[in-house]
Structure 1
Amino acid sequence: MPPAQAAAPASHPSREVRLLLIGRGLRAAVDGFVAVLLPAYLLALGFDVWHVGVLSSATLLGSALMTLAVGRWGHRLPHGRLLRAAGLLMALTGFAFAGLSAFWPLLLVAFVGTLNPSAGDVSVFLPLEHMRLANAVQGPAAQGPSRTTLFARYSLVAALCAALGSLAAAAPEALVRAGIGLLPALRGMFVVYGLAGVAIWLLYARLPPSDDDGPHAPPVPLRESRRIVARLAALFSIDAFAGGLLVQSLLALWLFERFGLSLAQAATFFFWSGLLSALSQLAAPRVARRIGLLNTMVFTHIPASLALIAAAFAPSMQLALGLLFVRAALSQMDVPTRAAFVMAVVSPSERSAAASYTAVPRSLASALSPSLGGALFAAGWLAAPLLACGVLKIAYDLTLLAMFRGVHAEE
């Protein structure tokens, strides 16, 4: 093959990856401020906390079901078209939330739309973007970064942009000081969310055509990989349930109750722990190249869980915070490697379905446990959520290692 012809395909995935990373960063940024502003907006509209909870649950449930539908039936349409449709849905969601005031219309929009009130990404975009990223790398001979490296960049961009986006949640207060009413200022932020959806539609309209957009190797629903994906989904749900016992708000509550941290001190802690978690994902590809995807997932996760358990019984604030920093530096290294592992153990045509079927159960499981963690705190058992979270995660890691040690997953 002539050199010019051999080099041509390399620019195709490079451009595709760049567009996908920009789109993921933009979504994470607007999700960052929407997660903070959604309850404030609903309260400003006159709803009570029960309505806030119901509407937040509707967003998670609707997103999970839509993601599941993409995994089940999305193979019938080109994925490029589905990504653009998701961008338009995101735009309509933002504009509808900015213009509506009654509860039932807002509930309907929340259910069918793309709002994300949680820290993670549970959306119809997720399996589609994962599939495109995975297909941009075709084995060790492919030019450019490895699959795990791409997923690490994807996770890092999302984490950093979400952190920056959360800072934008202060914008309505600044607008109020400038003479604009609180409710119009909050509505304006949802308009910004809608405009981000338009920008994502324009961005994904520039995606180069891929195999799933044409007649070659179309994506299919799960067939030969059904069993392994079901086992992974069940295990990932245990991990997500354990993590839900100690979501960030509950960890902050533990720090307030146990050590009397001020809001400023807690904010500083979460900034640095979030930065450690984001940056540690850059190390995940290097570790995975040395010890493998599965070993990276397990042998970074277990020390993080042990640090969490030790922090639950730490006698001093300094020791507890140090152990939590250790946990932050290790606990998220499995995020890109987990995604790369799933993409590696299924056939290319099943990747979208696999991403859907492993993401949705995680989302549903993580939505169940925060109330249990809060109840344990309310009962005065301050160490119990940390202990339960750590023990469950270690059990998940050991089971994952035992079940998939013999499965070949090419990094």
Structure 2
Amino acid sequence: MPYDLLIKGGHVLDPGQAIDRRMDIAISDGAIAAIQPEISASEASRVLEVRGSNRYVVPGLIDVHTHVAYGATTPGVGIGCVDPDVGGVGSAVTTVLDAGSVGIANVGVFGAHLLPKAKTRVICYVNVGTFAHTTPAAADVMHMEDIDRKAIASCIRANPGLIRGFKLRLVGPVVQERGEDVVRLSKEIANEHGVPLMVHIGDGRHPDRARAGELTRFLLKTLTAGDILTHLCTPNPGGVMDAREAAQSVVPELEEARANGVLIDSALGRGNFGIEVARRQAELGVRPDTTSSDLTAGGRRLGVGLLDSMAKFMSVGYSLSDVVRMTTLNAARGIGLGDQLGAVAVGREADLSIFDVVEGKWKFTDTLNQVFTGTQALVPVQTIRKGELFSPEWGPYAWGWLPEQA
């Protein structure tokens, strides 16, 4: 048999390559070996029939903002992280990026435990704050001393290849007082080690809105190509909606940053998605490059996940092709892996996501507890990671994957 696995009869949707039709995909030795309208089942050792109404096969989905440092943070003390494979291959996602769940004090959990065990591809961005989400503190950086430049350099030397970027959350009292200094230092450290900086905007602790907006505009002028701004649609102080104007436009620095090569990510989660913000941005033609989940243990219990984020943007008016592009091609390019991920192509590692689009009237809730509805929800069917098949976990709700009906 020439092929190990044949994915047969699926509607392949790959916006980056303008593929939107039924195709068969053959896999050998963990890589895509053939993509054709028809491949005989007799040519494969194993066949997965995926033909179905509103069922799609897409490049392996990439979630560029998750919290998967499972075991390094303590529920009830710091942020609750999930197992990488719960938010990954168990949710039709093949690659997850941990967005600063831990600082250098705890990042060793990735090399010692998470990376060797995870079936999902895991990329680690370490928090600039030494202890990050592992303490009960309200912010990752409570004092300038929490960013230990020397210790960070020592950690990177001792763990080559582990840390692929840095994460800063632009929240908390020290940011209000010395925000420009925090941004400058974080950016200097990222530059020093030749990796990107991801920055969270939007402070749910309700600081001075004018000051928070001022810091976000400074940040946007500081970030450079390869960096990531996350939480585009936050309704919290420090978001990109211009607090200086009643017309609710976005700050001009946003599109300047995008033009400079900064990735604009939405990262919905529990705390940074406002449906009215998303709708207004859509009216203005302001779109995120990527959408991601900001997945946490607490968030998952409320339905948070990458497929949920995609469905929420579809409720705003984005097409299925739009959200697939955001979570495949755009995400791969945004994290510097566009030559490896984000496409269904011969020779590429066989990372594929299969899901159903389910029509209905579905209820969603944003950060401000505003309920809104959508007509489409996404449900995982199967994940192929490096040629290996994975069935979905039980969904985040007691009844499974679909949101509550409106």
TM-score calculated relative to the size of structure 2: 0.26
TM-score calculated relative to the size of structure 1: 0.26
Tell me which of the two structures has the higher relative contact order, counting C-alpha pairs closer than 8 angstroms and 6 or more residues apart: 1
